[in-house]
Structure 1
Amino acid sequence: MSVQAKVPVDLLSDALDVLAAAVTISPAVPSTSHMVVRVDGLESPEVPGALGRYLVGAVAGAVGLDARLSEQLLARGVNRQEEIRREVAGLIGPTNAFPTADDRRFRDTRRNAWIGEGVAHALLMLGAMRETPCVDGQVQALTAVHPTTTRQGLDSVSAYVQAGVLGIAIGESKSTCSRASENLGDAIGLFVQIEQGEYQQDLRRELSAFRHVLSPDLAVQLRDSLWTDNASYLPMIVHQDPYNFMNPRPNLAGLAQPLQRRRVIVVQLAQFHAFFNAVADAMRAAVPEVVV
């Protein structure tokens, strides 16, 4: 008896299950200015393949605003497969060879940055499957991954619920081998700008889209003041070289949102470049599996 091949959305669901089993998200630990959430397990052998497959699915339209997988808008067919292959190559490069300074700049500032955003997106998707310490509640809606590495704006906006109360989480991801402190400072700067009144149109647009996917009891809680009344800030740093993320950060301490909702998500890798190379290889390999 032959075994029927799995449809793409089932492959993506399996990928999320692999990530959920491999990744450990430690409870949030308070410092004087923020909470620290550590994520381990991403360098498990099975993770790059699962993450690469998930990210191709996200690029190809399989991840909805409701933080669920769906085939409704998933790219299909040979022509679309070639289109997604080109998009993936534009995001991460056609190979992992970076012989020139410009090539390495692409790797460090574009490829790794986009994959790092993808790691954060996948962690938030796990937070939709079950409540995790990344967010102070369970994720109900999530913006799409950026379609290009140079798109300006917020890395992620998600809606979450805690005890029936809706909140939004705003994420900013940074990937750096050795400059964790500087990159965290850059990420914090975005949240300072938000509290100074910038990005209001971006937030209003994302929340407007969430109206159509949230349950009625949650959608009615969407309002213009939500990102000032009940927001979580989620700077995420993917790095290699040691840095003490418990160190106080005055700019974080000065933000209006309470300590519980200022969560620095930390992903430390033993082999930084090897991890990003493995995910990139997995993405290239996943295109014909996901887009059929």
Structure 2
Amino acid sequence: MSVQVVAPIDILEAALDHLGQVVQFSPAVRGPSHVVVTVTGVEQSSAPAAFGRYLVGALAGAVGIDAQLSEQLLARGVDRREEMRRTVLSLIGKSNDFPTEEDELFRDMRRNAWMGEGVGHALLMLSARHKTTCVDGQICALAEVHQTPTRQGLDSVGMYVQADVLGVAIGENKTTCSYASKNLGEAIKLFVEVERGVHGPDLRAKLSAFRYVLPSHLQDQVKDALWTDNASYLPMIVYQDEYDFLRERPTLAKLGQPLERRRVIVVRLSGFHAFFDAVADAMRAAVEEVVV
């Protein structure tokens, strides 16, 4: 009996399809300084395995800046598979055992932080497939997943469209078991820097790249003023211990973008470490599935 071989791009499409079925985005709830969008379902069924496959696919070149999956640049062959295995193990470790304080620091500050950022990237990819409350529109371009967990600068930059009007989605991801308030405060500092022009060169470079994957009738909207005139700020917090995200954040309230475009995206996990262990296991296994 022949064994059916599933193409890597089909595995990645199935992973995103599964996430699209189980992940839910709440309506945006208005607070005094921002709105809150709650994401649920990320721990359901085989969602951690789907996240793991997606992240390996993103590292292997399957996710384009047009926010679409493509096999054109997808890594192939034995040499690329070994390269990808080394990359994955450097990001998440060879196992889920962290016996020393140094190992735990790697888990919390590097492994989980990087995977939390990857979860946020996947949520924006879902927002390219159908409209969600992450942004007021639909994602149509998305910068790549960071290749290293300690890279400085913007965690995510995307572009979205609503009624043929473009906006820029600027995200900052924080992953924490117990310190949601502190981590949200740290994320907000990034948007203060954006308004001070600290990240202008990075934003202009990404918008310039996005321009060429947009439909021709939208390209003329991509100008330097776009990220100041029509941006959404998206602090994304993956956490476990309860925190009231509707509480007023005065620094967030002072930012220049309208309240509806200050969107705090929250993903609460009932089993914080178990979730990331499951995603890590899935990533290690997915190298063999995705790079063939």
Question: For this structure pair, what is the TM-score category when the shorter chain's length is used for normalisation?
Answer: over 0.9
Task: For residues 126-151 of structure 1, give each alpha carbon's deviation from its aligned partner in whole angstroms, at most 9, with x where no partner exists.
Answer: 00001100111100000000001111
Matched, 1:260 2:265: no
Task: For residues 226-278 of structure 1, give each alpha carbon's deviation from its aligned partner in whole angstroms, at most 9, with x where no partner exists.
Answer: 11100000000000000000100001100000011000000011110000000
Give, as a single letter, the amino acid of the residue that structure 1 aligns with 2:220.
Answer: V
Return the alpha-carbon distance in structure 1 between the equivalents of residues 169 and 211 of structure 2: 16
Q: Which residue matches 1:279?
A: 279
Match of 1:232, SS state, is strand
Matched, 1:52 2:52: yes
Task: List runs of 5+ in structure 1 lacking aligned partners.
Answer: none
Alignment of 1:128-147 (within 5 A): 128-147=128-147
Q: Which residue matches 2:248?
A: 248
Alignment of 1:1-292 (within 5 A): 2=2, 4-292=4-292
Alpha-carbon distance, 1:2 to partner? 4.2
Return the alpha-carbon distance in structure 1 between the equivalents of residues 282 and 45 of structure 2: 12
Match of 2:73, SS state, is coil
Aligned length: 292
Alpha-carbon distance, 1:218 to partner? 1.4
In angstroms, what is the RMSD of aligned CA positions?
A: 0.8
Return the alpha-carbon distance in structure 1 between the equivalents of residues 149 and 93 of structure 2: 11
Give, as a single letter, the amino acid of the residue that structure 2 aligns with 1:122.
Answer: A
Task: List runs of 5+ in structure 2 lacking aligned partners.
Answer: none
Match of 1:131, SS state, is coil
Give, as a single letter, the amino acid of the residue that structure 2 aligns with 1:263.
Answer: R
Give, as a single letter, the amino acid of the residue that structure 2 aligns with 1:191.
Answer: F
Alpha-carbon distance, 1:3 to partner? 5.9
Alpha-carbon distance, 1:6 to partner? 1.7
Match of 1:99, SS state, is coil
Match of 2:191, SS state, is helix
Alpha-carbon distance, 1:4 to partner? 3.3
* Identity among equivalent pairs (%): 66
Return the alpha-carbon distance in structure 1 between the equivalents of residues 257 and 3 of structure 2: 52
Task: For residues 66-120 of structure 1, give each alpha carbon's deviation from its aligned partner in whole angstroms, at most 9, with x where no partner exists.
Answer: 0000000000000100000000001111111111111111100110010001000
- Which stretch of the first structure deviates more once superposed, 185-194 or 215-224? 215-224
Return the alpha-carbon distance in structure 1 between the equivalents of residues 94 and 202 of structure 2: 32
Return the alpha-carbon distance in structure 2 between the equivalents of residues 92 and 221 of structure 1: 39
Return the alpha-carbon distance in structure 1 between the equivalents of residues 2 and 84 of structure 2: 30
